[in-house]
């Protein structure tokens, strides 16, 4: 049972706690609580080598959240391609390791998603109608690197179908990129490499790759997205396709069997993320980029928008020293309505100071507390039963202005019960003990005021929230 504002024991416990701590000013009015999003780290937040991705896999029993990468969980590398968020902690996906991969690679050689000619993608795949996690991994074989794709059914790893991944040579491979739905159900799209023809867009039909267009795809990234701008659903890809006068740079649209330039086009950009978001004026395609120039000559500023008619820079642009653009996008409702959350490596959003992470509601930019101290590579909205949260993954450095080795944190939305520190769905003296432990550990959760500093004001804030009780 929650400790509610009408229960005088809540305020009494908070007052006793304040007196014991020597925090002056007493307990604020128990009826004055307002909900505010805050940072929280799971008790076993992992360190992830490289660039972790976050993937939500839908299912009849509820959605499941995974992170892919190369993990050090509980003081060691997990040597598995993915970990799953379950019951408030991260756990390895286990039945040992995928079939054919070594049970424990040599120390210092983590197993995980890689770049170049090796697999680098994790995605949702509906295999025989059932949603699966499909991921590419690499490991070290005697004298050479090994690579393959595997699927996770929620209980066991299985080898991907023969022919789904074929390595022909350095940077010459056939492999899946993303599952999209263009109106005929989910389909896995990828690149098929054919000697003498190069890479071309293809669809996996369950047993083989079917080439959809003969045009060569020259430069590409793992960003594929299905979007309908009012002219029908189409596939949008951060890629350069074609050659000579027919070349389409940076981002192209595929529909009715042909590649098209989108509006006036985009040049010299590396497309790193896409998302559909409606800011109240209708759904639009938002594209996170590194660098890039519009036909008007304007620098893209990290985030651009296609509304079906023209490209535009979003909210004055995203910039900063060491700028590497926007690499993650997600739509999340923190209790105030859906907004677009933007992550990457930047320090300014429309002139508002931020740390690599910002919220855009269609009108204004807003930081997420003190943000994250390092580049963000993954965002995912997920409710694990404790309320809505935005999971944030990136290169380890710190969340909410607090240094940490963790690579995945949570921006907890509203409604929430911040004072339930131990997440046992009750407010008890154990929550005070939990809060003190968070303070001692310099945990971002202890920054109740979300101002990037853990100090006496956070004690007062915690007591106020405890006294006010929970919904």
284-332 pLDDT per residue, tens = 999 999 877 776 767 777 899 999 999 999 999 998 766 678 999 999 9
Tell me which residue range forms the domain holding 9: 1-36+418-471
Q: What is the four-CA torsion angle of 324, 327, 333, 334, rounded to 10 degrees?
A: -40
| DSSP, residue by residue, 24-50 | TT-PPPGGG-----EEE--TTPPEEEE
The structural domain count of the chain equals 1
- Alpha-carbon distance 36 to 214, whole Å? 52
Residue 317 lies in a domain: no
Residue 431 lies in a domain: yes
Residue 69 lies in a domain: no
Residue 404 lies in a domain: no
Residue 440 lies in a domain: yes
Query: Which residue numbers in the chain have pLDDT < 50?
Result: 1-15, 18-33, 75-78, 96-98, 101-119
Pairing of strands 233-241, 38-40: unpaired
Q: Give the pLDDT confidence score for residue 254 in this predicted structure.
A: 95
Element containing residue 378 per DSSP (H, E): strand 376-383
For residue 245, give the 3-state DSSP assignment: helix
Q: Give the pLDDT confidence score for residue 141 in this predicted structure.
A: 57
- Whole-model pTM? 0.87
Residue 366 lies in a domain: no
Residue 17 lies in a domain: yes
E strands present in 229-351: 233-241, 252-255, 258-260, 266-278, 283-294, 303-306, 311-313, 318-319, 325-333, 338-345, 348-349
Contact present, 389 and 414 (Cβ < 8 Å)? no
For residue 420, give the 3-state DSSP assignment: coil
**Could you tell me the two tokens for 282?**
């209708």
Residue 424 lies in a domain: yes
């Amino acid at each position: 049972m929650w400790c509610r504002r009408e229960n005088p024991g809540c305020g009494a416990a908070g007052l006793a706690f304040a007196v014991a701590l020597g925090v002056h000013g007493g307990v604020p009015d128990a009826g004055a609580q307002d909900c505010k999003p805050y940072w929280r780290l799971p008790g076993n937040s992992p360190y992830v080598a490289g660039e972790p991705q976050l993937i939500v896999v839908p299912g009849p029993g509820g959605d499941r959240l995974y992170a892919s990468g190369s993990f050090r969980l509980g003081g060691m590398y997990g040597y598995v391609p993915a970990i799953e968020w379950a019951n408030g902690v991260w756990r390895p996906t286990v039945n040992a390791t995928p079939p054919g991969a070594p049970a424990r690679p040599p120390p210092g050689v983590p197993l995980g998603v890689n770049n170049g000619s090796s697999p680098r993608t994790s995605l949702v795949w509906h295999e025989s109608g059932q949603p699966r996690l499909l991921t590419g991994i690499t490991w070290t074989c005697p004298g050479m690197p090994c690579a393959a794709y595997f699927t996770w059914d929620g209980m066991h790893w299985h080898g991907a179908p023969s022919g789904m991944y074929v390595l022909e040579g350095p940077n010459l491979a056939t492999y899946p990129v993303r599952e999209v739905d263009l109106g005929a159900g989910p389909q896995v799209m990828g690149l098929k490499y054919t000697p003498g023809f190069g890479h071309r867009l293809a669809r996996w039909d369950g047993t083989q790759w079917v080439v959809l267009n003969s045009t060569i795809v020259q430069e590409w990234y793992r960003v594929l997205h299905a979007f309908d701008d009012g002219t029908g659903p189409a596939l949008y890809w951060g890629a350069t396709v074609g050659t000579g006068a027919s070349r389409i740079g940076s981002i192209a649209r595929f529909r009715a069997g042909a590649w098209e330039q989108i509006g006036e086009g985009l040049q010299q950009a590396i497309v790193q993320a896409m998302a559909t978001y409606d800011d109240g004026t209708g759904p639009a395609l938002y594209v996170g980029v590194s660098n890039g120039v519009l036909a008007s000559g304007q620098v893209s500023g990290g985030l651009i928008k296609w509304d079906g008619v023209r490209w535009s820079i979003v909210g004055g642009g995203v910039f900063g020293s060491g700028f590497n653009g926007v690499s993650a996008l997600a739509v999340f409702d923190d209790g105030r309505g859906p907004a677009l959350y933007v992550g990457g490596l930047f320090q300014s959003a429309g002139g508002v100071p931020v740390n690599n992470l910002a919220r855009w509601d269609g009108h204004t930019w807003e930081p997420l507390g003190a943000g994250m101290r390092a580049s963000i590579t993954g965002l995912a909205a997920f409710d694990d039963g404790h309320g809505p949260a935005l999971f944030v993954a990136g290169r380890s450095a710190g969340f909410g202005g607090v240094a940490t080795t963790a690579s995945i944190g949570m921006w907890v939305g509203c409604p929430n019960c911040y004072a339930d520190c131990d997440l046992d769905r009750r407010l008890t003296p154990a929550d005070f003990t939990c809060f003190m432990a968070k303070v001692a550990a310099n945990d971002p959760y202890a920054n109740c005021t979300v101002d990037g500093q853990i100090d006496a004001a956070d004690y007062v804030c915690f007591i106020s929230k405890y006294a006010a009780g929970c919904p």
